[in-house]
Amino acid sequence: MDIGFIGLGNMGAHMARRLVQAGHKVFIYDTRQEAIGDIAALGAIAVRSPKEVADSAETVMVSLPTPDIVLKVATGPDGVIEGKKVKRFVDLSTTGSVMAQRIFKLLADKNIVQIDAPVSGGVRGAEKGTVAVMASGPRADVEAVEPALKVIGKFFYIGEKSGAGQTMKLCNNVLSAAATVATSESMVTGVKAGLDPRIMLDVINASSGRSTATEQKFPEVVLPRTFNQGFTAGLMKKDVDLFLSEAKALGVPVQTCEAVAALLKLTCDELGPDSDITTVIKPIEKRAGVEVRSKSEPSS
């Protein structure tokens, strides 16, 4: 299958690579030349703009950081909407359902079908092809790209409604964020009381409190103090804010998730939006006067 791919960041580069290695003819574009070069070296074909990507393939996939960037790439000047060959626009980013529906309508005027297919599973999942792919859109068009999406990860068809995949992604990500925040508060409390953080995680992971935060993020990234999970606090804040907006529009009370958003905002304010999502523990540690780290790790 000929596939266009725009956005070769932490997630997109791995997904594009997997498509190339699966034998697809992949036309790539990114604003960073070094990112293009890495994938082109594997056999992808570099082009000079989103429009040129859409001139080259019927299916164009994007993996981009923010809703506004997705909108610009999809419908702006020299964007996908101006392409001569494109028939399907597959958005692997997290934009929220409102933006997905907006892009769907704008592209439909040019007979281009928008499919929202956000992914979850982190950089490691993108590398291994184990991310969850949550696709929604017209069934026939989704089925046309399903084989390629299955190269990227585990495929789920959410429904016909534009934006349904986005809502599913936000419902997942807010749980991931909440688990990371709650685990941070729990671990800091235990360490302040004198507990060994490794033993805490062993007990939690054998008990009802376990999550991806306790099973992977904390033992592998927080306790060694590497803080290199690969997803930023700013991007998670964006996802949680999108969730809050959708939930409130639906009349759903979300006090817990509002508290999660508040700590993400504090993290971005104090450490910067480009800080790793796992650094949400640092503002808590700072105020508690302790650090959650392996006994073998030196104090900072």
**Over the chain, what HEC string results?**
CEEEEECCCCCHHHHHHHHHHCCCEEEEECCCHHHHHHHHCCCCEECCCHHHHHHHCCEEEECCCCHHHHHHHHHCCCCHHHCCCCCEEEECCCCCHHHHHHHHHHHHCCCCEEEECCEECHHHHHHHCCEEEEEECCHHHHHHHHHHHHHHEEEEEEECCCCHHHHHHHHHHHHHHHHHHHHHHHHHHHHHCCCCHHHHHHHHHCCCCCCHHHHHHHHHHHCCCCCCCCCEHHHHHHHHHHHHHHHHHCCCCCHHHHHHHHHHHHHHHHHCCCCEHHHHHHHHHHHHCCCCCCCCCCCC
Q: What pLDDT was estimated at residue 15?
A: 98
Q: Which domain holds residue 242?
A: 167-288
Question: Do residue 181 and residue 131 come from a single domain?
Answer: no
Q: What pLDDT was estimated at residue 131?
A: 97
Residue 25 lies in a domain: yes
Total number of domains constituting the chain? 2
Residue 75 lies in a domain: yes
Q: Model's pTM, two decimal places?
A: 0.92
Query: Does the active-site annotation cover 84?
Result: no
Q: What pLDDT was estimated at residue 297?
A: 62
Question: Do residue 156 and residue 177 come from a single domain?
Answer: no
> What is the tens place of the pLDDT at every residue in 142-169?
999 999 999 999 999 999 999 999 999 9
Q: Is the pLDDT of residue 300 over 80?
A: no
Question: Do residue 66 and residue 133 come from a single domain?
Answer: yes
Looking at 72, 161, 169, 265, which residue is catalytic? 169
> What is the tens place of the pLDDT at every residue in 88-146?
999 999 999 999 999 999 999 999 999 999 999 999 999 999 999 999 999 999 999 99
pLDDT tier, 51 (very low <50, low <70, confident <90, very high otherwise): very high
Residue 41 lies in a domain: yes
> What is the pLDDT averaged over residues 67-86?
98
Q: Is the pLDDT of residue 217 over 80?
A: yes
